[in-house]
Structure 1
Amino acid sequence: SMYFVALLLQSFFVGVIYMYYLKSEASFDAAHFLKDYEGKCRNVHGHRWRVVVEIKGETLSEETQTRGMLIDFSDLKKAVKDACDFFDHSLIYESGSLKETTIKVLEEENFRLNEVPFRPTAENFSRFFFTGLKDKGFDVHRVDVYETPNNCASFEE
């Protein structure tokens, strides 16, 4: 009908863009501490970090295998899981926050250590996972990182 055409044209000219969104999540258990923080979090402590990744896209695939999909969920799921598995059951510490002698002793004890170039906060992790998955070619819209079931930091485009 003419009404439908008018609505279609209006949305076209107003610049309304419709998007598809997909979410996938994974988690990892890891310890961290916050150097130069006055409070409990200055001590080594652990979390179950929950990472929720949301990607976006305007069009669905036409290819036979993935027809009608934004992307294959299994590709996103694997990328998110791999990113989380990298940190699982490790001590995550900021560059320069531990003495070299401390690192050496922990390595001699075969502790799994992950040095990161940022303070290991949920906020920084949300950006880290966002940019890492973007660099792998995913059209990331948002990443939520839950440090606890009730506390979440997000980074989005």
Structure 2
Amino acid sequence: MSKIRITKQFSFETGHALYGYDGKCKNVHGHSYKLSVTVIGTPISDAGNVKFGMVIDFTDLKHIVKEEIVDHFDHATVFNKNTPHVELASELKTRGHHVILVDYQPTSENMVIDFAQKIQKRLPAGISLFSLKLQETETSFAEWYASDN
């Protein structure tokens, strides 16, 4: 049976700052991120299965990505916990802000790697993560492909 790729798109708002960066992105700012998640697998061939003909139910993929990425990162501010931004993060948290501390510089490149790891752990047997595209602006994005990793 043929391998088929399916893609689901998501969007979320996230703030971040790049500590030590030599441009404007050293300042706290935000993006309207768009995340495209592509998985690959063989459509279910059992006519008795309610998901007959599907690689994965789009709703099931949606739940995985929402729980691992969207619900966690939406309207949060992301800082590298190994920088002085941890002090700003602490202050924001005391004021009720949703702050995520990560152990990497929160660039689109590093975020897409993090997202790939989170999503891969949740996919059912027989379904593989094929690629991710994390769009930071209308003209800027980072892509992750399983074949490259």
- Coarse TM-score class (shorter-chain normalised): 0.7 to 0.9
| 2:122 paired residue number | 136
- 1:114 and 2:100 correspond: yes
Residues 1:53 and 1:101: Cα distance change in structure 2 (over 3 Å):
closer
Mark the runs of 5 or more structure 1 residues left unpaired by the alignment: 1-16
Matched position secondary structure for 2:136: strand
Q: Which runs of 4+ in 1 moved over 4 A?
A: none
The percentage of counterpart residues that share the same residue type is 29
Mark the runs of 5 or more structure 2 residues left unpaired by the alignment: none
| 1:20 paired residue number | 4
- TM-score, normalised relative to structure 2: 0.86
| 1:46 paired residue number | 30
**Residue type at the aligned position of 1:89:** H
CA positional deviation for 1:72: 0.9
RMSD of Structure 2 on Structure 1 (CA): 1.6
Instruction: Say which structure is richer in helix.
Output: 1
For this pair of structures, how many residues does the alignment match?
A: 140
Rg larger for? 1
CA distance in 1, matches of 2:37, 2:92: 32
Note if contact 2:3-2:43 (Cα within 8 Å) is conserved in structure 1. no
- TM-score, normalised relative to structure 1: 0.82
Note if contact 1:21-1:55 (Cα within 8 Å) is conserved in structure 2. yes
Note if contact 2:39-2:131 (Cα within 8 Å) is conserved in structure 1. yes
Residues 1:100 and 1:60: Cα distance change in structure 2 (over 3 Å):
closer
Note if contact 2:19-2:85 (Cα within 8 Å) is conserved in structure 1. no
